[in-house]
Structure 1
Amino acid sequence: MKQVLQHRIDTTFAHYDVNGNGVIELADFYALAERLLQAFGEPASSERGRELIEAYDGFWDTLVEHCDADRDGRISPQDFGQAMVLAFVDGGAFDVVFPEIVASLLDLADTNGDGRVDAAEFSVLLRARGLSEAECGLAFTHLDTDGDGAISVQEYVAAVKDYYTNPARDTPGSWLYPASLQPA
């Protein structure tokens, strides 16, 4: 069980280490934000662009607080793994940080402005994060827990929390990154 959660944390680290240099740095977070903004055709100077960058800044600050033991602006895989368990899995930082970043991500994804993130919009978000079209469809189907055809902030936050805390393989969170996060 613990192996599944550790695999998810390790894979998340690899996702955040955008430049692949073995550590997470603020530049990686800006690269992620830029990738998302480009996927949605949103300029960083727009209101939604600024909100996303501010949310990523806040998330980075929280990660540094919990993960960067030597305060050098670089988070190693070991520090990330230990801190994710202490601060986010076992601690309360998750409930403070993730709802804000999820709200910014879903606001960005709501390209038609209807207040909902449908399957097509959610697919753009996940493809920008490296998922295939098939994985996007699987994730959407499992994360839309109320079956209304849209992903809400509450559904996405619940799935992310489930992803980090529940080692079961068939829960909404286990489908957040369907193929890439299942241990062999």
Structure 2
Amino acid sequence: MTSNVIIRRYDRTFDLLDNDANGVLEEKDFTDLIEKIARATGVQQGSAKEEALVKEWGNCWNTLRDLADANGDGRISREEFQQAMAAAYGDHAKLKERLVPGLEASFAAIDADDDGVATVAQFEAYLTAWGLERAQARAARELLDSDGDGRFSRQEFVNGWTDFLLRDDAECAALLGPLN
């Protein structure tokens, strides 16, 4: 059974993914978010980074649609999303298989100089593309920058998202801002 904390995280994620706030997830929500992430992180149009971001987030959408779109209408309701997230991302193996490539493409977008480390300022830009306010993004960065040096690695980024989706405590809940 999925805990209340995790369901609230799924709801928060759904709300941020639903770019047009129409109450359902559609492919356009994902493509709009990809565009916002690319522009906020300085990814150049037509670059290999943008192509990887589009490809991997497209794969995430296709996987989610395949898992969640119970009625086959090409749209995912909040309930369908919650059920699919609980089923698909309820264990680390499935999470890595289905989500990590998209996270790695996101990290590559954040890591502007390709040195394998991202700054908290770059992460804040990424989170504001998701729709978080600057103050929320600043608070969320502490989840990844545990040593306070202002930087974090690809693995810390992936681990932060994995914890956000799987951990059953309120500590890592702030990655996408406050839970409703």
Read off the aligned partner of 2:19 and give its amino acid letter.
V
Aligned equivalents of 2:59 and 2:93: distance in 1? 15
Q: Does 1:122 align with 2:123?
A: yes
Deviation at 1:78, TM superposition (A): 0.8
Read off the aligned partner of 1:83 and give its amino acid letter.
A
Q: Does 1:174 align with 2:173?
A: yes
Q: Residue 74 of structure 1 corresponds to which residue in structure 2?
A: 75
Higher relative contact order (CA 8 A, sep 6+): 2
More displaced stretch, 72-81 vs 146-155: 146-155
Q: Residue 99 of structure 1 corresponds to which residue in structure 2?
A: 100
List runs of 5+ in structure 2 lacking aligned partners.
none
Deviation at 1:132, TM superposition (A): 2.2
Read off the aligned partner of 2:173 and give its amino acid letter.
S
Aligned equivalents of 2:152 and 2:136: distance in 1? 15
Read off the aligned partner of 2:101 and give its amino acid letter.
E
Deviation at 1:68, TM superposition (A): 0.9
What is the 5 A alignment of 1:24-43?
A: 24-43=25-44
**TM-score normalised to structure 1 length:** 0.88
Aligned equivalents of 1:100 and 1:138: distance in 2? 25
Please give the secondary structure, in 2, of the residue aligned with 1:176. helix
Deviations 1:34-58 (A, max 9, x none): 1111213323311111110001111
Aligned equivalents of 1:150 and 1:68: distance in 2? 38
Q: Residue 15 of structure 1 corresponds to which residue in structure 2?
A: 16
List runs of 5+ in structure 1 lacking aligned partners.
none
More displaced stretch, 41-50 vs 122-131: 41-50
Deviation at 1:148, TM superposition (A): 4.9
Read off the aligned partner of 1:129 and give its amino acid letter.
W
Deviation at 1:169, TM superposition (A): 1.7
Q: Residue 86 of structure 1 corresponds to which residue in structure 2?
A: 87
The percentage of aligned residue pairs carrying the same residue is 32
Aligned equivalents of 1:175 and 1:14: distance in 2? 14
Q: Is the 8 A contact 2:116 2:154 kept in 1?
A: no
Q: Residue 52 of structure 1 corresponds to which residue in structure 2?
A: 53
The structure in which a higher percent of residues are strand is 2
Aligned equivalents of 2:166 and 2:83: distance in 1? 14
Deviations 1:147-182 (A, max 9, x none): 553222222222222222223122xx323123x32x
Read off the aligned partner of 2:41 and give its amino acid letter.
F
Cα 1:47–1:165, aligned 2, differ >3 Å: closer, same or farther? same
Q: Is the 8 A contact 1:140 1:151 kept in 2?
A: no
Q: Residue 160 of structure 2 corresponds to which residue in structure 1?
A: 159
> How many matched pairs?
179
Read off the aligned partner of 1:126 and give its amino acid letter.
L
**TM-score normalised to structure 2 length:** 0.89
